Amino acid sequence: MIDRAMTAVIATAAAAAAAVLVVFGAGFALYALLEPITGVAGAAALVALAAALALVIFALIVQQRARKREAEAALAAARLAEEHPLGLGDIARERPLVTLAITAVSGLIAARNPGLIRDLMQVVTRFGRR
């Protein structure tokens, strides 16, 4: 299992090194192409501009993918909410007398057993943070 993980790490590092070499080579080739036309400073500026544009394009692509994933997650959450429509709010709207009775009984339990309610609230807040 560790061998497989190490192989994955080595393969990822090799791919990253190859990507760095490709970017460096492309930048140097662009510099060599532009240097006779624009001079040393102009070629360096144009290579930096090309790198900045490539970075902006990459960032926009990553942002679009993230937005697409967020939209898909929101759509999935909406579908899940539609599949399970019976929530506490629906029960309270459909059966107000039952809700009133549950509230009254909860108040009586809380008045007679404050330690139980304190423990219950600790459990709820502990799981609510996750």
Domain ranges of the chain: 1-85, 86-130
**DSSP 8-state symbol, 36:** H
In eight-state DSSP terms, residue 90 is: H
Cβ-based burial of 64 (10 A; exposed 0-12, middle 13-18, buried ≥19): exposed
Residue 30 to residue 46: CA distance in whole angstroms: 9
> Which two structure tokens, joined as six digits, stand for 63?
């942002």
Find out whether 46 and 29 touch, Cβ atoms under 8 Å.
no
One pLDDT digit (tens) per residue for the chain, 130 residues:
788 889 989 999 999 999 989 989 999 999 999 999 999 999 999 999 999 999 999 999 999 999 999 999 989 888 877 776 556 667 777 788 888 888 888 888 888 888 888 888 888 888 766 5
